[in-house]
Amino acid sequence: MKQIRKVVCAISGGVDSAVSAYLLKKRGFDVIGVHMVNWDRAEEDSNNCPQSVDEKDAEKVCNHLQIPFYVTNFVDKYWNEIFMYLLDNYRKGRTVVSDVLCNKTIKFDRFHKYAFDELQADAVATGHFARTSFGDFLENRLETGLIRLLAAVDPIKDQTFFLSTLTQSQLRRSMFPVGSLTKQQVRQIAIDAGMDEIAEKRESMGLCFIGKRKRFDAFISQVG
């Protein structure tokens, strides 16, 4: 079985992915940090859009950890394969869980292809609160047999529902370094690692591109 050396870690600019990258490096992996841009910010107020701040924070994290930092752009793919699909279903009165679709289509498909094809990664890591039967760092991986998606240790932050549509192939090469930690432990690790600012950062609670619009249907009327 090929040894895992190079791990591409998705860096969102938040504490979960920052600690994931830190733990990977601490374990001796060759870590590369990559920030995904999924929305065109040219039409938004950059001062009010959290995405602009997130990218800067992602770079700060990678600089602090002394790992390479890349930015990859999935704007067209996000618009065509996710956002327009969400709009179409919204107009038809259907509810689509955007995080499930984004994980399946962008983070664990397009991003995986970028990591493996362009950066020659051996594995990919994200800051999701989830675990698998192969271990948080794929330390229990097997060449054959099924890999099982397991609930995170922190029941409040568990994100396995949002990963429920991932394929065996996607899961077999995915690491979830914070899956066996609580959110409080993650924040404390960030502080101990000298990333206080990231540890104290508020979690993302909305969609950047909606901006100051209070109603999603009002936003749809503008883009539709």
How many whole angstroms separate alpha carbon 217 and alpha carbon 103? 24
Q: What is the mean pLDDT of the chain?
A: 87
| Residue 133 confidence class, pLDDT cut points 50, 70, 90 | very high
208 is catalytic: yes
How many whole angstroms separate alpha carbon 58 and alpha carbon 61? 5
Residue 210 has pLDDT above 50, yes or no: no
**Residue 175 tokens, joined:** 């690491």
| Residue 220 confidence class, pLDDT cut points 50, 70, 90 | low
Q: What's the rounded mean pLDDT across residues 142-161?
A: 96
pTM across the whole model: 0.85
Residue 80 has pLDDT above 80, yes or no: no
Q: Determine what percent of the chain is predicted with pLDDT higher than 70.
A: 83
49 is catalytic: no
| Residue 103 confidence class, pLDDT cut points 50, 70, 90 | confident
Q: What's the rounded mean pLDDT across residues 106-130?
A: 95
SS3 175: strand
Q: What's the rounded mean pLDDT across residues 87-111?
A: 79
| Whether domain 6-223 has CATH 1.20.1270.10 | no
Q: Which residues pair with 10 in a beta bridge?
A: 34
Q: Which residues pair with 35 in a beta bridge?
A: 71
Exactly one of 9, 49, 62, 208 is catalytic; which is it? 208
